[in-house]
Chain A
Amino acid sequence: MSKQEQHWEKTRGLLFITLAIWFVFSIGIFLFGAEMQESSIKPFGYPLTYWFTCQGSLAIFVILIFWFAGRQEKIDDEFGFTEREGDQ
Chain B
Amino acid sequence: MIKGKFIDNLPKIYGIYTGGFLVFIILMSIAEQAGMSKELIGIFFVSFTVLIYALIGWLSRTLQSDAYYVAGRQVPTVFNGMATAADWMSGASFVAMAGGIYFKGYGYMALLVGWTGGYVLVAALLAPYLRKFGCYTVPDFIGTRYGGNLARFCAVLVLTLASFTYVTAQINATGRIASVALDIPFNIAVYVGLASILMCSMLGGMRAVTWTQVAQYIVLIIAYLLPVFWISSNIGAGFFPHFMLADEVARIAELEGQFGFVKNSAADMATVPKGLAQITKAHSEVNATPWAFISLAICMMAGTASLPHVMMRYFTTPSVRTARRSVGWSLFFIFLLYSSAPMLATLSKISLMDPNLATGIIGKSIAEVQALDWYQNWNQAKLMFVSDFNGNGTLELNEFFMKGDAVVLATPEIAGLPYVISGLVAAGGMAAAMSTADGLVLAISNALSHDIYYKIINPKAETAKRLIVARILLVIIGFAGATIAALEINDILGSVIWAFDFAMSGLFFPLVLGVWWKRANAAGAVAGMLLGLGSGTAYLVWVKWYAGAGFLGITTNTFGLVGATVSLVAMIVVSLITEAPDSATQKMVDDVRVPSGKTILGKQ
Contacts and interface: CB of A to CB of B under 8 A. Distances in A.
A34 interface: yes
B141 to A, nearest CB: 16
Contacts, number: 150
Interface in A45-79: 45-47, 49-50, 53-55, 57-59, 61-62, 64-66, 68-69, 72-73, 76
B320 to A, nearest CB: 6
Nearest to A80: B596
Nearest to B249: A46
Given A27-B294, A32-B290, A88-B134, 13 more contacts: A4-B593, A19-B120, A26-B301, A31-B294, A53-B106, A53-B109, A53-B112, A61-B117, A66-B325, A69-B321, A72-B128, A73-B321, A88-B73
A59 to B, nearest CB: 7
Given A15-B125, A44-B246, A57-B113, A65 B328 contact: yes
B71 to A, nearest CB: 14
B120 A55 contact: no
Contacts of A30: 110, 113, 290, 293-294, 297
Contact of B596 (A42, A49, A82): A82
Interface in A1-60: 4, 7-8, 11, 15, 18-19, 22, 25-27, 30-34, 37, 42, 44-47, 49-50, 53-55, 57-59
Nearest to B593: A8
B52 interface: no
Nearest to A18: B124
B120 A61 contact: yes
A72 B324 contact: yes
A47 B249 contact: yes
A61 B119 contact: yes
A76 to B, nearest CB: 5
B298 interface: yes
Contact of B123 (A4, A31, A68, A73): A68
Contacts of B243: 44
Interface of A: 4, 7-8, 11, 15, 18-19, 22, 25-27, 30-34, 37, 42, 44-47, 49-50, 53-55, 57-59, 61-62, 64-66, 68-69, 72-73, 76, 80-84, 87-88
Q: Which of B244, B290, B595 has the most CB of A within 10 A?
A: B595
Q: Which 10 A-B pairs have the closest CB atoms?
A: A45-B246, A26-B117, A53-B109, A65-B328, A22-B120, A33-B286, A66-B328, A54-B342, A69-B324, A50-B284
A76 B73 CA distance: 21
Among A26, A46, A64, A73, find the residue whose CB has the most chain B CB atoms closer than 10 A.
Answer: A26
B350 to A, nearest CB: 14
B596 A81 contact: yes
B182 interface: no
B599 interface: yes
Given A4-B594, A53-B106, A59 B117 contact: no
B110 to A, nearest CB: 8
B112 A42 contact: no
A50 B290 contact: no
Given A19-B124, A30-B297, A53-B109, A69 B116 contact: no
Nearest to B342: A54
Contacts of B8: none
A54 B339 contact: yes
A87 B598 contact: yes
Given A4-B590, A26-B117, A64-B120, A69 B596 contact: no
B374 to A, nearest CB: 27
Contact of B331 (A8, A25, A61, A84): A61
Contacts of A69: 123, 321, 324-325, 327-328
Contacts of A44: 242-244, 246
A45 B247 contact: yes
A76 B128 CA distance: 12
A59 B328 CA distance: 11
Interface in B248-270: 249-250
B602 interface: yes
A58 to B, nearest CB: 5
A65 B595 contact: no
B332 interface: yes
Nearest to A65: B328
Contact of B246 (A34, A37, A46, A87): A46
A18 B117 CA distance: 12
Most buried by A among B106, B247, B343, B590: B106
A81 B120 contact: no
Specify which of A55, A59, A81 lies most central, judged by the most chain B CB atoms within 10 Å of its CB: A55
Given A50-B249, A88-B73, A57 B325 contact: no
A79 to B, nearest CB: 8
Interface in B90-146: 106, 109-110, 112-114, 116-117, 119-121, 123-125, 128, 134
